[in-house]
Amino acid sequence: MPRKFDRVPELSLNSFVLGDAAARHAFIDALMEGFQYFGFIILKDHSVSRELLGRAYELSAELFARPLDEKMDFYAGPDGQRGYTPFGREHAKDAHVADLKEFWHVGREFAFASPLADIYPANKWPERPLRFRETFLHLYSALEEAGFAMLEALAPALNVPDDYFRRMATNGNSILRLLHYPPVAGDADPNAVRAAAHEDINLITILVAAKGAGLELLDRDGNWLPVETDPDNLIVDAGDMLARITNDVIPATTHRVVNPDGPNVSRYSMPFFMHPHRDAILECIPSCKGTGAKYPPIRAYDFLMQRLGEIGLA
């Protein structure tokens, strides 16, 4: 690597979306450099409004404060794809204890008559908090558009058409996850953490900067590095699917959420997991083959089911 970073680089998305040719080129280079070095970058100057983010966090906290039996009316079921997944259900790959978290999944919404409506599970919408459905569908769309811009910026560095990833991810099984890490109980398993070390499954994850510290990535020297930024920024990391099709040219970086070192209070976060459509083929991009592809082609849906089984959600 030509440069050594001591923190995750912050990039202005508007310099790509609204900038001139020189600004776009600089963003493309910096994005690829940051992804190759850390598997993470931070986005500022994006189009997801502060008001929307603030309202989403308020509603998320209100949702998780509801009684457990009320939340369980919207239980997501064994695959966890839509609705509520209770505390202690999900674990990291190869972990022997569950993570200290509960979460709610919002997926893509289709019109009743859409032929795609039968492909993905239907969302589950609680009556309270008020404006829940409206807010999180709005946030879903805003984060997806930011994701498409990011993926378009990756395309030139990988020598694929600008719309390569948009075609792959349009109508994809992308998920907005509302996460709540409650205060760590005194009788919690000493080996349990809020989110054990793992890599994400998908193409990219766009994480709304969390309400509370704790996110750390494993850097190239084997050290855990805190990932912290302004609450209006977006944290973006590369997932296993992107690593697979780039032959690990862009790595999926191991990360975790550690238990609080200071006040033992709730932590909330909202990652958007950007997925391809189910029939997309994950195969090595030609420019990344080098001496040969490390992984055989696989359908996106089959890879997802394989990985969900490894973390206890299938």
Q: Where are the domains of the chain?
A: 48-310
Query: Distance between CA atoms of 46 and 168, rounded to whole angstroms?
Result: 22
Q: What is the pLDDT of residue 198?
A: 86
48-310, superfamily in CATH?
B-lactam Antibiotic, Isopenicillin N Synthase; Chain (2.60.120.330)
Which pair of structure tokens corresponds to residue 178? 């509302």
In tens, the pLDDT along 35-91 reads 998 889 999 999 899 899 999 999 999 999 999 999 999 998 766 689 999 987 776
Per-residue pLDDT, averaged over 139-151, amounts to 94
In tens, the pLDDT along 81-127 reads 899 999 877 767 767 788 889 999 999 998 777 777 778 888 999 99
pLDDT class of 3 with cuts at 50, 70, 90: low
In tens, the pLDDT along 195-240 reads 888 889 999 999 987 676 788 899 888 889 888 888 889 999 999 9
Lowest-confidence region among 33-42, 133-142, 254-263: 254-263
pTM of the predicted model, to two decimals? Answer: 0.91
Q: Which amino acid is at 153?
A: A
Work out whether strand 281-282 and strand 298-299 pair parallel, antiparallel, or are unpaired.
Answer: antiparallel
3-state per-residue secondary structure call for the chain: CCCCCCCCCEEEHHHHHCCCHHHHHHHHHHHHHHHHHHCEEEEECCCCCHHHHHHHHHHHHHHHCCCHHHHHCCECCCCCCCEEECCCCCCCCCCCCCCCCEEEEECCCCCCCCHHHHCCCCCCCCCCCCCHHHHHHHHHHHHHHHHHHHHHHHHHHHCCCCCHHHHHHCCCCCEEEEEEECCCCCCCCCCCCCEEEECCCCCEEEEEEEECCCEEEECCCCCEEECCCCCCCEEEEECHHHHHHCCCCCCCCCEEECCCCCCCCCEEEEEEEECCCCCCEECCCHHHCCCCCCCCCEEHHHHHHHHHHHCCCC
